[in-house]
Amino acid sequence: MSKIIVLGAGMVGSAMAIDMAKNHDVTLMDINADVLKKVQQKAETLSVQVLDVTNKSALQNSIKPFDLVICAVPGFLGFKTMEYILEAKKNVVDISFFPENSLLLDKLAKENDVTAIVDCGVAPGMGNILLGYHNERMKVTGFECLVGGLPKVKKWPFNYKAPFSPVDVIEEYIRPARYVENGQMVVREVLTDCELVEFEKVGTLEAFNSDGLRTLIDTMPHIPDMKEKTLRYPGHVEYIRALKDSGFFNDDPVEVGGTKVSPLEFTSKILFDEWKLGETEEEITVMRITIKGEQQEIVYTLYDEFCTRTQTSSMARTTGYTATATANMFLEGLFPEKGVFPPELVGRHEACFNYILNYLKDRNVVYNMETRPIKKA
């Protein structure tokens, strides 16, 4: 039993704290006392503590007694928070998905003799782990990740509820997508190249360009083709693009009734309300990872649902349990390297890979693998 601190009591942070508390002494921290109180009602063995992670000394003092930090703060706070954690010489598993390059902190982590595993969710996260594993065992020529979190009940027009911060969803609809094609990094407009894709138990979904490759662009320079696309119910992208093309996502403030308002900020606000996922609203996670080799392609498919028994969202399950799997794997000493590591550098080790997949399987997050021979023209 180790002493674990989880930073951030959002939907995923709470689920991780509850999961870790099964085998460890866990403290959950958040800036919001009400949120903490609510989580504690679900898991009595959990300790909670109010903390503002932007207060450097408070943060560094709070994490002192712990063996491992699991960080699930909002993305815009992620990089700075990780820097403070590494300065304090603490090991960390991170799913804040911050926009900055995590490898900039690699030197600090090595100097302080600690380990940071970043981007440890479902996507990014499991896609990287799967690719990391197979990349060591075959010549990979292509990688594709299709992924989406979707509500079970579809409300027109967007047919969408945000299983994580809507501000991050909208950010994903703005940032251009970085792909690798024929060995070159290319930038594609986000929300483009829509294609219809069939998924068992779900039906037809729409996949479009989004910027999800992240560290893979740097860590897998030998793979000539890599892309990530986001999945939504058909129609969603069309309405998002209608908003975007007519100025609703613009950043330049416009004057409304005497005050300056940012269209993007305003639109986000409206969509937050429209996309608010009810606490017990059922949602699913759908993912298909294709790893292409010279003779065969390996396809992993995930279909995961809201857990009615534990009232845990599928996004919390698939994202959070990947991070708790990684945390437990780390605590068991399976990954002794020091520095900052994206998940592909963890998944390449057979023991790590198996540990994580089995941990997830125990929680009924199941990746079905299929192998198909490549047809030569």
Residues forming the site for a copy of itself (CB under 8 A): 156-158, 239, 241-243, 245-248, 254-257, 259, 261-263, 265-266, 269-271, 273-274
For the bound state, the minimum distance from the C-beta of residue 37 to a copy of itself, rounded and expressed in Å, comes to: 25
- Cα separation, 324 vs 317, in Å, equals 10
- Strands of the sheet containing 91-94, edge to edge, are 47-50, 25-30, 3-7, 68-71, 91-94, 115-117, 339-341
- At its nearest, how many Å lie between a copy of itself and the CB of residue 250? 8
- Could you tell me which of 209, 248, 262 has the C-alpha nearest to residue 231? 209
Tell me how far, at minimum, the Cβ of 139 lies from a copy of itself, in Å: 43
Q: Please state the φ and ψ torsions of residue 288, each to the nearest 5 degrees.
A: -135, 120
Q: Give the nearest distance from C-beta 167 to a copy of itself in angstroms.
A: 13
Q: Do 180 and 224 meet the contact criterion of CB atoms below 8 Å apart?
A: yes
Determine the 3-state secondary structure of 23 from DSSP. Answer: coil
Beta-ladder partners of 188: 177
Identity of the residue, 44 or 255, whose beta carbon is nearer to a copy of itself in the bound complex: 255
Of 159 and 310, CB closest to a copy of itself? 159
- Of 19, 262, 285, the closest CA to residue 162 belongs to 285
Please report how close the Cβ of residue 162 comes to a copy of itself at its closest, in angstroms.
13
CB of 352 to a copy of itself, least distance (A): 43
Task: Name the minimum Å distance from CB 158 to a copy of itself.
Answer: 6
Comparison of 246 and 311: residue with beta carbon closer to a copy of itself = 246
Shortest reach from residue 52's CB to a copy of itself, in Å = 20
DSSP string for residues in 332-372: TTS----EEE-THHHHTSHHHHHHHHHHHHHTT--EEEEEE
By C-beta, is 224 or 234 nearer to a copy of itself?
234
Left, alpha or beta for 93 (phi > 0: left; psi -120 to 50: alpha)? beta
Show Cβ contacts of residue 173 under 8 Å, excluding neighbours closer than 6 positions.
190, 191, 240, 244, 249
Choice between 266 and 303, CB closer to a copy of itself: 266
**CB closer to a copy of itself, 90 vs 236:** 236
CB 209 within 8 A of CB 229: yes
The residues facing 179 across adjacent strands are 186
For a copy of itself, the closer of residues 74 and 235 by Cβ is 235
How big, in percent rounded to 5, are the helix, strand and coil portions of the chain?
35, 30, 35
Instruction: Give 239 or 303: the residue with its C-beta nearer to a copy of itself.
Output: 239
Torsion of CA 280, 285, 340, 176, to 10 degrees: -110
